[in-house]
Structure 1
């Protein structure tokens, strides 16, 4: 894998790292029941980088077709909803 997967969009407005897009340097996709952003945090401030260019640093969902050696191989992912769900998760 030669590229890092970008967080194309994030509509989880309660997340401190969502400031018109994902401003975390990198997120981890995990989740117990559904594939979700484990970097999601609710704080009364906006945090992260000054621009929205978040990327997937790791994916712990071994059952996803895009997971290769804990790295996401999708061309980009979208994080959606109040639970910060990975909309591009696809079961093997």
Structure 2
């Protein structure tokens, strides 16, 4: 799978993340992690902006209990990241 085929982070409402530029994720690829809730493991709180010029993708998903997870890869067409139980959660997470 190439980054061209990875699901895009379609929106991110986490204003305090260094990869968030005007509600678009600009991390090259995020990792979804967490126990209990699905968190954005790439969340980095800070004022300095970083990342790439294009929208971020989902590089890996450690949540094997999500219906969009196939061999630790996300198969959703896109994911939304925003506040949930943590400041940055994968809001597209759906229990298998």
Matched, 1:68 2:70: yes
Structure with bigger strand share is 2
How many residue pairs end up in the alignment?
91
Q: Kindly report which structure 2 residues correspond to 1:1-92, keeping only aligned pairs within 5 A, or say none.
A: 3-20=5-22, 21-51=24-54, 53-81=55-83, 83-92=87-96
**5+ residue gaps in structure 1?**
none
| Superposition CA RMSD, Å | 1.6
Structure scoring higher RCO (CA < 8 A, sep ≥ 6) equals 1
SS at the partner of 2:21?
Answer: coil
**How far does the alpha carbon of each residue in 1:15-61 deviate from its partner, in whole angstroms, 9 at most, with x for none?**
1000121010000001122001000011221111134x100000000
Deviating 4+ runs (over 4 angstroms): none
Q: TM-score, normalised by structure 2?
A: 0.87
Q: TM-score, normalised by structure 1?
A: 0.91
**5+ residue gaps in structure 2?**
none
